[in-house]
Chain A
Amino acid sequence: MSQTIVIDPVTRIEGHAKITLQLDDAGQVKEAQFHVTQLRGFEKFCEGRPFYEMPSLMARICGICPVSHLIASAKACDQLLAVQIPAPAIKLRRILNLAQMIQSHALSFFYLSAPDLLLGMDADPAQRNIFGVLQQEPRLARGGIRLRQFGQQVIEILAGKRIHPAWIVPGGVSEPLTSAKREVILAAIPEVQAIIEQTLTWFKNVIGNYREEILTFANFPTLFMGLVNEVGSLEHYDGLLRLIDAEGNMVQSGFPAADYSRYLGEDTETWSYLKSPYYKPLGYPQGLYRVGPLARLNMASWCGTPRADEELRQFKHLSPQERLSSFHFHYARLIEILYGIEQIEALLHEPDILDRHVRAFANPNCYEGVGMAEAPRGTLIHHYWIDEHGLITRANLVIATGHNNLAMNRGILQVAKHFVRGDQLTEGMLNRVEAVIRAYDPCLSCSTHAVGKMPLHLEIHDATGQVLHEVQRP
C-alpha cells in the first residue's frame, strides 16, 4: 500500500518549508518534494520606488546575508547610473562581502551542522544542538562563535551596523575606511585564521565517519555555476558567470551579468513558492545545476591566497565522485572562510584602501541594470528596470538558494531512498533528510535554525488519506 510521509515544521515565523516523501507499495521512497511555503513579494512591492532605495530595501530580504543583496542591488544601480566605481570602493565592497561570507559560513557550519558532525546524525536531538557542541567540544564552539563574531564585527566596523547596513550605495560606498578601523580588523586576523585552520584539521579527521552520507547526500552529476575572473581564481564580487559539467569540462565559458536571461530560465512548480532556475540549453528540469561553495571550489583553479590554495589542493585530491557530494559543501565552506580571512588581510594592505574617493555620483543614464555577485549560498542576481524618473517599474531577483532548488529536490530523494524506511521510521532518518538540506545552507535556514531538534510533525497516510502513523517532535 503506497504511503505519503509529510515532514512539516509546525512552528516557524520566517522561511517556511516542508518535505513530502511518497512511498511505494513496498515501503520504499518513490518521490520526494521540497516545498517552500512562504511568499516574500519583494519583486512586486518595490515597483514605484526610487531606484536608490533598492539596496536598503533589498537588504531586508535576509537577516543573515543582507550584504549580498546590498552588493547585487548596488551593482544593478551602478549600471543604471552608468558610472565607474572608484577602485578603493570596489575593494571595500569586496571586504564587506568576504566578511559576510565568513560569518554566514560560520553560522551554517558551527551552529547548524556541527551538531550532526560532532555528535552524530543519530544522536539524541535533545543534545544534538549548539549546546551539545558547547559541552562536548567547547574549543570548537568557541572558535565558531569567534569566527561569526569576527565577520559581524568587520561588517559593523566598515558599514556601521551588523544587520542591514546602509554603507554600500549606488556608485560605491558612503564612507572611506579609516586607518584606525583598518588596524582593529588586522589585529584580529591571526586569531581567526588559527581558528579556521584548526577547524579544517578537525573536520578532515572526522569526515571519515561519514562515508555513507558522502556517497548519498545529493551525490550525483550536475552542472556547477559561479563567477570566474580573468585568471580563473576563486571569485565572489565580479567577473563572468561560468558553467562546468561534473567532470570539470566547460559548458559555458562565461557570460556577463546582463546576459543571464539568455542562458538561465526560471520555472515554477505548483507545490512550491521557490522558483527553479535551470540552464536553458538543456531545458527544464535537465538543466539543473548547483551553486555555492562546492560549485565555486570545483570551478576555481586556485584561491589566490597561500593557505587557502593549499587547502584547495587537498580538496581537489578528493575523488571526482566525492567532489560531487553535497556533503562537501561543509568542506568547501571552511576553505572559503580561510580564503576570506586571508583575502581581507591582503585587501587591507592595498595602498589605496584608505583613499577618500569612494563614490561616483550621477543621475540615471540607463533604464535597465543587472547586478550579480556570489552570496555565501551561491550566485545572486538583481535585475531592475526604471522609468525616466528613476522609479522602479520592474524587478527580477534570482536568489542564490533558488539556483539549488532542483538539486535540493533531487538530493532529498536520493538520501530518502537510501535512509528512509516507511515501516520503521526513526528520528535519525528524518535528521538525514534535514541534513541534506542543511548541507546546501539554503536561506530557508531561517526556518531550520533548530539544530538537532527541528520541530517536526510527521504523518504517514495511506492511499485513502487516512493517517496510519503520527510522530510529533515539539
Chain B
Amino acid sequence: MSKVLILGYGNCLRGDDGIGWLAAEKLQVSLIHPDLQVCTAHQLYPEMVAQLRDIDYVIFIDASVEGIPGQISCSHLSDQPVSGSTLGHTFAPQQLLACAAALYGRAPAAHLYTVTGVSFAYETQVSSLMQLILPVLVRDIERLCAALLMEASPM
C-alpha cells in the first residue's frame, strides 16, 4: 500500500505541456520506495479517485500558462468541492480530491507543482528552458518526497 502518490500529467504532443509527464518519468527512476507510487497520464480523470483511497499524500505535476516561463510553483491543495464544477475536458486536482472526500470520507494531503511553459505548440519535445528547469523540478520533488516518506514511515 503506497502512502505517497506522484501524478505527472500533460500532453506530450503539445510541447511544454508534457513537462509533468517528463518529470514523473524521471522520478520513476530516481525514487524507488515501497511506499511510493509514480504515475503518468495525459490528463486527470475521475477513475483516478480509486488510486487516492489509500494514499496519505499526493503530488500533482503539471504545466501552467500563468506566470513567468520557467517559474516553478508549489501549492498545497484543499479537498473542498470546487464551485461550478462540471465534468469536461479539464478535471482539476481539486476536483479529484473532492471526489475522494465525497466517496471515501477523506482525501489525501496534496501538493500541486506547476511549471510555467514557454510553448504549447504541436511538438514532441519540451522547450530548451523546460529541459533546463526539469532537473530543478525533479530535485524539489525528490526532497519533498523524502520528507513525506520519512513522515509516513518514521524510523
Contacts and interface: CB of A to CB of B under 8 A. Distances in A.
Interface of A: 13-14, 111-112, 126, 129-131, 134-135, 138, 141-142, 145-146, 148-149, 152, 163, 446, 449-455, 474
A403 B55 CA distance: 45
B98 A131 contact: yes
11 contacts: A14-B89, A129-B86, A131-B99, A131-B102, A141-B103, A145-B46, A148-B47, A449-B86, A450-B86, A450-B88, A453-B84
Interface in B52-97: 81, 83-89, 95
B139 interface: no
B98 to A, nearest CB: 7
B42 interface: yes
Q: Lowest 4 CB-CB distances: which A-B pairs, in order?
A: A134-B102, A450-B86, A149-B47, A449-B88
Nearest to A161: B42
B109 interface: no
A116 to B, nearest CB: 13
B87 A449 contact: yes
Interface of B: 42, 46-47, 49-50, 81, 83-89, 95, 98-99, 102-103
Contact of A130 (B42, B84, B87, B89): B87
B102 A135 contact: yes
Contact of B85 (A111, A112, A129, A141): A129
A470 to B, nearest CB: 20
A88 B103 CA distance: 39
Nearest to B99: A134
Given A129-B85, A134-B99, 13 more contacts: A13-B89, A126-B84, A131-B85, A138-B102, A138-B103, A145-B49, A148-B47, A149-B47, A149-B50, A152-B47, A449-B86, A451-B86, A452-B86
A146 B103 contact: no
Contacts of B84: 126, 453, 474
A152 B81 CA distance: 26
Residue from the set A142, A152, A446, A453 with the largest chain B CB neighbour count within 10 Å: A142
Nearest to A115: B87
B103 A130 contact: no
Nearest to B41: A162
Nearest to B89: A13
Contact of B89 (A145, A163, A449): A449
B32 to A, nearest CB: 23
B81 to A, nearest CB: 6
Contacts of A129: 85-87
Contacts of B49: 145
Contact of B103 (A111, A112, A142, A455): A142
A138 B86 CA distance: 17
A177 B89 CA distance: 33
Contacts of B81: 131
A278 to B, nearest CB: 32
Contacts of A449: 86-89
A146 B42 CA distance: 20
B47 A111 contact: no
A14 B88 CA distance: 10
A130 B47 CA distance: 12
Nearest to B101: A134
Contacts of A135: 102
A452 B84 CA distance: 10
Contacts of B102: 131, 134-135, 138, 141
A109 B114 CA distance: 33
Contacts of A131: 81, 85, 95, 98-99, 102
A450 B103 CA distance: 20
A451 B87 contact: yes
A453 B42 contact: no
A301 B40 CA distance: 44
A313 to B, nearest CB: 32
A196 to B, nearest CB: 16
Contacts of B47: 145, 148-149, 152
B93 to A, nearest CB: 15
A446 B90 CA distance: 12
Contacts of B46: 111, 130, 145, 148
Nearest to B53: A142
Contacts of B42: 163
B50 A146 contact: yes
A221 to B, nearest CB: 34
A441 to B, nearest CB: 14
A372 to B, nearest CB: 29
A152 B50 CA distance: 13
Nearest to B81: A131
